[in-house]
Chains A and B, each alone.
Chain A
């Protein structure tokens, strides 16, 4: 049986004290232990941002890639070795800004991975510029008179693109987050876990004091059915005095992309033998050219 300690790394995080990333790091470690997925059985792809250093602070396979591209790198890894469990972990600027194109395409392809977004609604690593999920009017070094952009709505966009698992967690509700990540790991196909992540240094207006009185758990609402896509669409828009966390949408699993690639039917690509072409294969290729 695995425990959280099996995922402990030796590096000390560079995150500010009070950063929501500590909750997310713990949540991932605990969920992996609970799901009995060992450090070598998975790989975590991250982009660029404070939170993307996460795999360095664990014992796990990781690939700390470039800004906005973790989903593309992860897709290649899934196609080459669908025997590996894959997580992507990145921020809102990374995934909903630079990487929005890759995100939408990954969702519609239904690549079998868990996409954890550290959504602090600000750029932390580059010191406080407004992000795709920032509130309009937010004053930052790049929006001194207030941001004009309307925010990205990650949950509704994921539902629109065809995701069959769409969840929102909160870094301040660890047990709940562990449960959500566990459910996402069990889900077949693309699973989004957008995590509200307080940034105590650069987005104090949206830190613990903001979220604590507002977040409520969807599973406490008896009337809410996460399998109802229309209800999920409406719930995904709810933001303000009350902010829902939990599984917003869970549809019937649909075939993953990997399941439908003919070359992968014989097993993970990297486990198939790599050798010279056989004589009859060479002949067949030559005959094509005659």
Chain B
């Protein structure tokens, strides 16, 4: 089959039970809305082309709060408008999937071109602190998996999951094997799971004996979640800090307890995040470090270098960027002889993140911010 990054992600999201999509058109994010709109009636998905991105994310929060798996596709400028509501999802522990197909910024930037400039923005967006997931698929297969996996992660940990794609990946067309048994080279629909986490069923609510507390303090930080509609779980959610029942509080003890409850989720979340994927030989003179769509061009560069001379290069590719898989990443990075970060931005955002989380620095950096995608030749022309 012939597939692009938009289709790959959309297929994964649909397979993962996406039931609500709200978005405002913005290149290169809107093709996901188009794809979903074209499949909405047949697969029972409600889609809404909204008046702006602020409405898009707020509608998705309303739909998710009510129990629908909800997706907001956008690009960086649209995500910028969504930032306040992202915090609302974090504070109210609403599961939500945001798909940001990056393009060069700031502002309008180069609207139909390529960049990987939103990583740290995505990581820190919102006032205040709350846990979030960031997935950075680099291939079509990874886009498919991120599509369904993001919904499970968001719902299991009741917090936003952000998938970072980019213009290059969205528009890249590949031919893939149809047979899923073929080393998982095509989209593995069999492997898709739908895990709704601590969502209480109708029966569980019917038999609930104690008072329902939406924000119950638990060891895992995850509180059993009821969607509105059951007479045993009537509650108010709030963007204000709240106690276990959801009532507004400004008490220092409860504030501390709720911050810690939300933050405690990070331990479980981190366990979900495997370390970087290695491509190429175990030991190599050069180890490229990548995230997102630089994966493809770098694989080709690694192959070319090793064809010239064995064990010249390998690649560590990050799909799971937040919570950062510190342990696995540290061990993989430490075993490398020479680390070369390769990123489509001007400030080496992944290298910054790696250094902040592991203390390890890149030995060299290859950056590109001319609005064009990486090519293997661009990397190979570098004085490595």
Within residues 192 to 230 of chain B, which ones have a CB less than 8 A from any CB in chain A?
A: 192-194, 196, 227-230
Residues of chain B contacted by A152 (CB below 8 angstroms)? none
Q: Are A76 and B60 in contact (CB under 8 A)?
A: yes
Cα distance A74–B43 in the bound complex, in angstroms: 23
Binary per-residue interface labels of chain A (54-84) against chain B in the complex, 1 for a CB within 8 Å, 0 otherwise = 0110011111111001001111111111011
Closest Cβ neighbor of A38 among chain B residues: B231
- Is A11 an interface position by the 8 A CB rule? yes
Within residues 93 to 114 of chain A, which ones have a CB less than 8 A from any CB in chain B?
A: 101-102, 105
Question: Which of A61, A64, A281 has a CB less than 8 Å from the CB of B228?
Answer: A61
Q: Are B55 and A72 in contact (CB under 8 A)?
A: yes
Within residues 253 to 282 of chain A, which ones have a CB less than 8 A from any CB in chain B?
A: 261-264, 266, 269-270, 272, 274-277, 281-282
Question: Which of A56, A66, A83, A275 has a CB less than 8 Å from the CB of B194?
Answer: A275
Residues of chain B contacted by A79 (CB below 8 angstroms)? 20, 46, 48, 59, 62-63, 68
Cα distance A66–B192 in the bound complex, in angstroms: 35
Within residues 175 to 200 of chain B, which ones have a CB less than 8 A from any CB in chain A?
A: 178, 189, 192-194, 196
- Is B381 an interface position by the 8 A CB rule? no
Within residues 55 to 76 of chain B, which ones have a CB less than 8 A from any CB in chain A?
A: 55, 58-70
- Is A40 an interface position by the 8 A CB rule? yes
- Is B360 an interface position by the 8 A CB rule? no
Given contacts A11-B247, A101-B52, A102-B51, contact A84 B15 (CB under 8 A): no
Q: Are B67 and A56 in contact (CB under 8 A)?
A: no
Within residues 1 to 44 of chain B, which ones have a CB less than 8 A from any CB in chain A?
A: 1-3, 7, 11, 14-15, 17, 19-20, 22, 40-41, 43-44
Cα distance A39–B60 in the bound complex, in angstroms: 23
- Is B380 an interface position by the 8 A CB rule? no
Cα distance A105–B20 in the bound complex, in angstroms: 19
Distance in Å: Cβ of B242 to nearest Cβ of chain A:
9
- Is B239 an interface position by the 8 A CB rule? yes
Q: Are B69 and A73 in contact (CB under 8 A)?
A: no
- Is B375 an interface position by the 8 A CB rule? no
Q: Are B239 and A66 in contact (CB under 8 A)?
A: yes
Q: Are A269 and B44 in contact (CB under 8 A)?
A: yes
- Is A168 an interface position by the 8 A CB rule? no
Closest Cβ neighbor of A77 among chain B residues: B62
Q: Are B51 and A261 in contact (CB under 8 A)?
A: no
Closest Cβ neighbor of B57 among chain A residues: A72
Closest Cβ neighbor of A68 among chain B residues: B54
Q: Are A263 and B41 in contact (CB under 8 A)?
A: yes
Residues of chain A contacted by B61 (CB below 8 angstroms)? 65, 73, 76
Residues of chain B contacted by A1 (CB below 8 angstroms)? none
Q: Are A55 and B59 in contact (CB under 8 A)?
A: no
Cα distance A38–B232 in the bound complex, in angstroms: 12
Closest Cβ neighbor of A42 among chain B residues: B228
Distance in Å: Cβ of A76 to nearest Cβ of chain B:
3
Cα distance A75–B68 in the bound complex, in angstroms: 13
Residues of chain B contacted by A274 (CB below 8 angstroms)? 17, 19, 69, 194, 196
Question: Which of A63, A75, A290 has a CB less than 8 Å from the CB of B92?
Answer: A63
Distance in Å: Cβ of A62 to nearest Cβ of chain B:
4
Question: Which of B17, B43, B234, B248 has a CB less than 8 Å from the CB of A53?
Answer: B248
Q: Are A63 and B65 in contact (CB under 8 A)?
A: yes
Question: Which of B46, B227, B229, B237 has a CB less than 8 Å from the CB of A62?
Answer: B237
- Is B240 an interface position by the 8 A CB rule? yes
Cα distance A59–B233 in the bound complex, in angstroms: 11
Cα distance A39–B231 in the bound complex, in angstroms: 7
6 pairs across A/B with beta carbons < 8 Å? A56-B236, A73-B65, A79-B46, A79-B48, A274-B19, A277-B15
Given contacts A62-B237, A275-B17, A285-B11, 5 further A-B contacts (CB under 8 A): A40-B229, A65-B58, A66-B58, A83-B229, A266-B44
The 5 closest A-B pairs by CB, nearest first: A76-B62, A76-B59, A62-B236, A72-B58, A289-B1
